[in-house]
Every structure is written in structure tokens, then in C-alpha cells.
Structure 1
Amino acid sequence: MIDFAPDVPRWRQVADVLRKRISDGTYPPRTRVPSVLQIQQEFGIAAATAQKVLRALREEGLTYTEPGLGSFVSKTAGQD
């Protein structure tokens, strides 16, 4: 878990952590990112909040979703 800043939405703070992990190679391209349940457990947030995190990363083009398989890092994510 992280210490959440009170003035920034939790979903945004968790998305920032996952975004950093993508950019630093912790989650390389085409590898699976944590599931909603895994995000809930790691950060102590609600399922709806975890879903919002994954939706934000997908909308930014950092991840894509394979139905029934999960969310994965996009091929070009993390490349500058």
C-alpha cells in the first residue's frame, strides 16, 4: 500500500504508480499488468477504483485488454 495524498484522487495515484512501472520496464511490453483484484489487494482500494485505474491506462494507450485474459502493456508503451 501507499500513503495516499488527500488532495489527489486515489485512482490517479495508483495509475501513476503503474504508469511508472510500465515506463521503467517493471512491466515490459506485451506482459500482463495486475488484475483488478491484485490492484485492490496491493493498494487497498475498491474494485471500482481499480477498474478506473485500468481504464485510464487503456485510454492513454499504455495497455490493451484481451477479453478473458486480462490487461497487457502495449507494444510501444514505455518507449520514449
Structure 2
Amino acid sequence: MIDEWEQDRPKWEQIADVIRQRIADGTYPPRSRVPSVQQLVTETGVAVDTAQKVLARLREEGVIYTVRGLGSFVADRPPSG
């Protein structure tokens, strides 16, 4: 997911940027599942709290939504910008 971390930015921001980019380029189309907390931990090596912060921020921005027991999905119309 991330080859090399930028030292001057929090890891959660960098991971969120990657997910936003994948949504923008169609890798994760609307209503498709995005990586879970556990998948983010496994793929990036970050702590669970960090992975949870990524998904929480993307939810706050309206980029994704979460269905309890099913996972997190790309919003139908992610906000532009």
C-alpha cells in the first residue's frame, strides 16, 4: 500500500490519502468494500488505533460508510475535492 512513509505526516493521513486515491481512480468503485481495520493493520503494519482513525476520518468526510457486521464501503457519490 505504502512503500515509504513520509516522516513529516501522520501515517493515518497517508493511508487515508491512498484510499481516497483508489476511490478516485476507480480501484474501489461506489458501494465496494474498502479494507477493514485488520486488513490495514496487516498491509501497513500500523497499530489498530491508527487503522481505526483512517476509517473514522473517511466516514466523517462522507467518503465511506460502515454497515455494522459487514464492513466499510465507498459512498455512492464521494465528495469532490
The answer, yes or no, to whether TM exceeds 0.5 is yes
Distance 2:24 2:61 in 1: 13
- Is the 8 Å Cα contact of residues 22 and 78 (structure 1) preserved in structure 2? no
Match status 1:65 vs 2:74: no
Paired residue type of 1:50: A
Paired residue type of 1:11: W
Match status 1:76 vs 2:69: no
Using the size of structure 1 for normalisation, the TM-score is 0.93
Offset of 1:78 from its aligned partner?
A: 7.0
The gaps in structure 1 that reach 5 residues or longer are none
Offset of 1:44 from its aligned partner?
A: 1.1
- Is the 8 Å Cα contact of residues 11 and 50 (structure 1) preserved in structure 2? yes
User: Does the C-alpha gap of structure 1 residues 54 and 48 become closer, same or farther in structure 2, counting only changes over 3 Å?
Assistant: same
Q: Provide the aligned length of Structure 1 versus Structure 2.
A: 80
- Is the 8 Å Cα contact of residues 63 and 71 (structure 1) preserved in structure 2? yes
Report the counterpart of residue 31 of structure 1 in structure 2. 32
Match status 1:13 vs 2:4: no
Aligned residues with identical type, % of pairs: 56
Paired residue type of 1:14: I
Using the size of structure 2 for normalisation, the TM-score is 0.92
User: Does the C-alpha gap of structure 1 residues 64 and 32 become closer, same or farther in structure 2, counting only changes over 3 Å?
Assistant: same
What's the RMSD between the two structures over aligned residues?
Answer: 1.5
Offset of 1:2 from its aligned partner?
A: 2.6
Distance 1:8 1:62 in 2: 21
The gaps in structure 2 that reach 5 residues or longer are none
